[in-house]
């Protein structure tokens, strides 16, 4: 396979595309973030990278809190809208008819339409050129009841989550295997 | 929608699942990483979080270099294997019949079977409990010729990339829209 060389670029793909909610006590805002990831398992931590120019930047910097709301296919239009429009000019909750829901451990609202919300508290901010990296503890998770089976297992495959790759939003497709499948012994039929 | 409250957990989804290659000059190794994300656009930077117990940890810590190879559906078994097995005991390149390819800007090999490789140089390591966060500049990208059209545009939607969610690998499914679609004016038919 012949390869082409390019200069460094942000081509890690697919990445999450999440609705981040935040509040300064007066204004609640939403911003779509793709530059996000899990930092560690124990303690559970993630980051979001935000440009200084965004309205949510100052809100998160001052409040030290935000929620990562995982969107599903039903609200992909709202997901896109909240990445394009500025909260300085618009009330994105109202524009997209999204419902504010009280969070458990942080003071900013969650997005009720999102099947899963990770409530986050910032512990460090690192500048990195175009973006500031907000590193945060995941202090609570809220999940739609409908995604939990009778044994308490999360059926995340039923959530209709969205991935983002090179400027496009995608539904998740075929399940290719579960972690560890490559080394699992096959059952022998008797 | 009634919600259930859980304690904080690593439920950000879907996330990438990438084959990270590294080398100490004597041994080339592979490790599958899902705790990764883009940190900033300019300069282009990403991170990978690695447990201290992994064989790749010391290699990356000492060499300060690694490659993020984006796998496709054809090599999902190798992707899983490299996340389960330890490079201390196995030669994962040989086990999975993956081909080493010289990288452009770093001394560790890339994985030829992966359609896209991001060559990375570490600029900072931050400890975070279970994992160390290797923050790195993306210093070069190599891409399969077959994914570039005659205008030089990357057709990443043809790469067959893989997403990871809650212990399962998924193909990307239906394209739901491109960035900005929610505010784009529709063409009026005359």
Q: What is the pLDDT of residue B30?
A: 98
Cα separation, A111 vs A122, in Å, equals 19
Complex confidence, ipTM? 0.96
| A73 within some domain | yes
Alpha carbon distance, N-terminus to C-terminus of chain B: 44
CATH of the domain at A22: 2.30.110.10
Q: What is the pLDDT of residue B33?
A: 98
Distances (CA, A) of A159 to A73, A82, B36, B169: 9, 20, 22, 15
N residues, chain A: 190
Q: Indicate the residue of B11, B15, B168 with minimum beta-carbon distance to A116.
A: B11
Place A149 in a pLDDT band, splitting at 50, 70 and 90. Answer: very high
Instruction: Work out the burial of residue A41: count CB atoms within 10 Å of its CB; fewer than 13 is exposed, 13-18 middle, 19 or more buried.
Output: middle
Cα separation, B110 vs B69, in Å, equals 7
Contact of B50 with A39, CB cutoff 8 Å: no
Choose among B39, B29, B33, B38: nearest CA to B18: B33
Mean pLDDT for A57-68 is 98
Chain A CB contacts of B4 under 8 Å are: 142-145, 148
Chain B CB contacts of A34 under 8 Å are: 38
| A8 within some domain | no
Shortest CA gap A94–chain B (Å): 15
Chain B CB contacts of A110 under 8 Å are: 3
Q: What is the pLDDT of residue A47?
A: 98
Q: Which residue of B has its CA nearest to A13?
A: B16
Mean pLDDT for A49-70 is 98
Buried (b) or exposed (e) across B45-83, using 16+ Cβ within 10 A? bbbbbbeeebbbbebbbebbbbbbbbbbbebbbbbbbbb
CA angle A33, B80, B11 (to 5 degrees): 35
Q: What is the pLDDT of residue B139?
A: 98
Place A186 in a pLDDT band, splitting at 50, 70 and 90. Answer: confident
Element (H, E) at A20: strand A18-23
Cβ distance of A156 and B104 shorter than 8 Å: no
Best A6, A135, A149, A180 residue to mutate vs chain B (most B CBs within 10 Å): A6
Q: Indicate the residue of A112, A139, A182 with minimum beta-carbon distance to B1.
A: A112
Q: What is the pLDDT of residue B185?
A: 79
| B10 within some domain | no
Range of lowest pLDDT (A148-157, B98-107, B178-187): B178-187
Best B149, B163, B167, B184 residue to mutate vs chain A (most A CBs within 10 Å): B163
Cβ distance of A172 and B176 shorter than 8 Å: no
| A182 within some domain | no
Shortest CA gap A22–chain B (Å): 17
Residue B88, CB-side half-sphere exposure with 13 Å CA sphere: 7
How many structural domains comprise chain A?
Answer: 1
B34 pLDDT above the threshold of 70: yes
Shortest CA gap B89–chain A (Å): 15
Range of the domain at B137: 15-171
| B119 within some domain | yes
| A177 within some domain | no
Cβ distance of B45 and A176 shorter than 8 Å: no
Q: What is the pLDDT of residue B190?
A: 53
A189 pLDDT above the threshold of 70: no
Place B63 in a pLDDT band, splitting at 50, 70 and 90. Answer: very high
| A40 within some domain | yes
Q: What is the pLDDT of residue A44?
A: 98
pLDDT tens readout for residues B125-161:
999 999 999 999 999 999 999 999 999 999 999 999 9
Place B164 in a pLDDT band, splitting at 50, 70 and 90. Answer: very high
Chain B CB contacts of A100 under 8 Å are: none
Q: Which two tokens stand for residue B131?
A: 């994992």
| A190 within some domain | no
Q: Which residue of A has its CA nearest to B7?
A: A140
A190 pLDDT above the threshold of 60: no
Shortest CA gap A24–chain B (Å): 23
CA angle B109, A129, B12 (to 5 degrees): 70
pLDDT tens readout for residues A102-147:
999 999 999 999 999 999 999 999 999 999 999 999 999 999 999 9
């Amino acid at each position: 396979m012949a390869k082409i060389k390019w200069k460094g670029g942000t081509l890690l793909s697919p990445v999450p595309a999440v609705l981040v909610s935040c509040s300064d006590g007066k204004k609640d805002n939403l911003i779509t973030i793709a530059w996000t990831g899990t930092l560690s398992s124990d303690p559970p931590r993630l980051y979001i990278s935000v440009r200084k120019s965004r309205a949510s930047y100052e809100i998160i910097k001052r409040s030290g809190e935000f929620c990562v709301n995982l969107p599903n296919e039903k609200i992909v239009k709202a997901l896109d809208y909240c990445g394009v429009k500025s909260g300085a000019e618009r009330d994105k909750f109202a524009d997209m008819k999204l419902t504010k829901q009280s969070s458990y451990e942080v003071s900013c609202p969650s997005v009720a339409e999102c099947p899963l919300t990770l409530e986050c508290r910032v512990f460090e901010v690192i500048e990195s050129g175009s973006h500031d990296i907000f590193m945060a503890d995941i202090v609570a998770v809220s999940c739609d009841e409908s995604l939990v089976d009778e044994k308490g297992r999360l059926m995340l495959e039923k959530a209709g989550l969205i991935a983002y790759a090179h400027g496009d939003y995608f539904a998740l497709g075929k399940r290719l295997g579960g972690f560890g499948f490559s080394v699992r012994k096959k059952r022998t039929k008797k």
